[in-house]
Amino acid sequence: VVVAGGSLAKLGMKFQGHVKHAMPIVEDVLAGFAAHVARDDGVSPVLRLDVIGRHEVGSGSAPLAIMKALYSEPLARAGLTLLDVDRFSLELHNPEATEPAGSGNVPLNNYRTLASLAVVEKLIARESIDDFVRTRGMPGFAPTQGHIASAIPYLAHARRALTDGGLTRTMFAGKGSLFLGRMTQLPDGLSLVIERNGRA
């Protein structure tokens, strides 16, 4: 069982933007999650340990470089491309919390960057960016609790879609501060692929 939680110190961290816009402080939830990872039961989705992406300090801090390290490179090692993933789950911060604070719509911006990477890799045309975002992304809905908001809130939905729904493969990524990565000399971003069980 993998268990993690948010940070009490981060509650209401973006409150100034909310107060400035005369709105309630919406970061009032302390998020947490637990996931049971077990051996293959022939039904549940499979965690692909051969498709793990890492954002290392040497990967660079440019948005496309980060996306390449977390998405394209691990997929390529398995002979896959961005188009082989049905749904990407990345930073799912609720824009109702981030936009008034000046951080913008984080999920939408990241999905557009990921779609731009697909353009650079000649997988889609520039005119197809919005379609890529619409079909392979999702709106942000999670509280802004650091890495909790990075992908994991979609896990239960992905499990359902990979067993009872129409998805074959999903990709999750969490990324944090390059500053912290440089301080510790450790990677501060990971991605993984979960896919439909081939025996189901």
- pLDDT per residue over 132-149, tens digit each? 999 999 999 887 765 566
* Ranges of each domain in the chain: 2-195
Residue 152 binned pLDDT confidence (cut-offs 50, 70, 90): confident
**Residue that is written with structure tokens 């268990």 in the block:** 3
d(CA 98, CA 106): 7
**CATH class in words for 2-195:** alpha beta
- Span 157-180, pLDDT tens digits: 999 999 999 999 999 998 766 566
> Angle at Cα 120 formed by Cα 108 and Cα 63, nearest 5°?
45
Instruction: Name the phi and psi angles at 90, rounded to 5.
Output: -130, -140
Position 143 scores a pLDDT of 79
- Pairing type for strands 32-35 and 2-5 reads antiparallel
d(CA 4, CA 74): 25
Q: How would you classify residue 175: left for phi > 0, otherwise alpha for psi between -120 and 50, otherwise beta?
A: beta
Of the candidates 15, 8, 3, 17, the residue with the CA atom closest to the CA atom of residue 145? 8
Most confident of 20-29, 51-60, 168-177, 189-198: 189-198
Residue 195 binned pLDDT confidence (cut-offs 50, 70, 90): very high
Position 40 scores a pLDDT of 95
The pTM of the full predicted model, rounded to 2 decimals, is 0.88
